[in-house]
Structure 1
């Protein structure tokens, strides 16, 4: 049996399972040892970690030509830019979305389509709210063809 088979874990991304379980076990151990402030802190960290890795089901509208947000968060800008390197596109639309720690950190496909290419680009780890982050941070470029 996998953790994702349990009702509590089916909505948490598998990458988060070990963190939630580890912090949960620490919470129980600290509680049994009577370490009042430490088990409460560990419990808060367990809840926060479970919340961070949550992966709720989404039900986007199914209409031709519909484009939905690929991520939770706040839209910072929508601009026309030169096509991303390696994509072969002359121009594209860039939508910058800032995800806070309280947003679901899952990116989904914004439209129905077929993935043509995926390019991994290693990079830095600048804070996501900096302009240079979108150009210099580690990222994947996914080139899709609309259906």
Structure 2
């Protein structure tokens, strides 16, 4: 299954690849060069297909859990001052996505979308300390009756030139369902209450919609 954000580019890439295959014999006479060109074209098509894949996930909604919004690796777990919405200290957990990861963004909790804002910005590498504040990004806050308010931020990176955000204020968020897409590698930051019980460790690999990032302390 492929994500709807990739349908157009997959179609264009497929047509381009097929057309190029048909033209190789006409423009390139050397067999080994033909082979290299064909392999390169096929590899590019496979990479595009892999990037826009949207695998089915086993999602079990739980209001006491925050699930990972994306596939990737946990690169930050620290207490920070969140300047944009809460304007107070929060626990930041960041997940970095490589170009090989699934790039669907999912709602980390269920509830009501109470804030959604897009910010134009730079394209620093996603792991840069200032990327969260200076890069192109979207900020979404979902209010959950049990957990409270959870903020997640999609951040563009050096390769990610387009962030897609479906979350709109007053929308009903379903935990684990699609909330957006980031094209070609980036990261997502989560901002949680300080007393959150963290269930992941640095450098741990997580799966969007399935891996429990944190749970509410009783």
Q: How does 1:90-105 map to 2 (within 5 A)?
A: 90-105=88-103
Match status 1:32 vs 2:18: no
Q: Which runs of 5+ in 2 are unaligned?
A: 26-33, 146-218
> How high is the TM-score relative to the length of structure 1?
0.83
Q: Which has the higher contact order (CA 8 A, sep 6+)?
A: 2
Larger mean CA deviation between 22-31 and 120-129 belongs to 22-31
Counterpart residue number, 1:115 = 113
Spell out, residue by residue over 1:29-66, the C-alpha distance to the aligned partner (whole angstroms, 9 max, x if none): 22222343323211111110111111222222223301
User: How many Å apart are 1:25 and its aligned residue?
Assistant: 1.4
Q: How does 1:1-147 map to 2 (within 5 A)?
A: 11-33=1-23, 34=25, 35-85=34-84, 87-147=85-145
SS at structure 2 position matched to 1:78: strand
Task: Provide the rounded CA distance (Å) in 2 between the counterparts of 1:81 and 1:145.
Answer: 20
Structure (1/2) with the larger strand percentage: 2
Q: What is the SS of the residue equivalent to 1:107?
A: strand
What CA distance in whole angstroms lies between the structure 2 residues aligned with 1:129 and 1:43?
A: 31
1:89 shift after superposition = 4.3
Q: Secondary structure at the match of 1:125?
A: coil
Structural RMSD (CA): 1.6
TM normalised by structure 2 equals: 0.58
Q: Which has the higher helix share?
A: 1
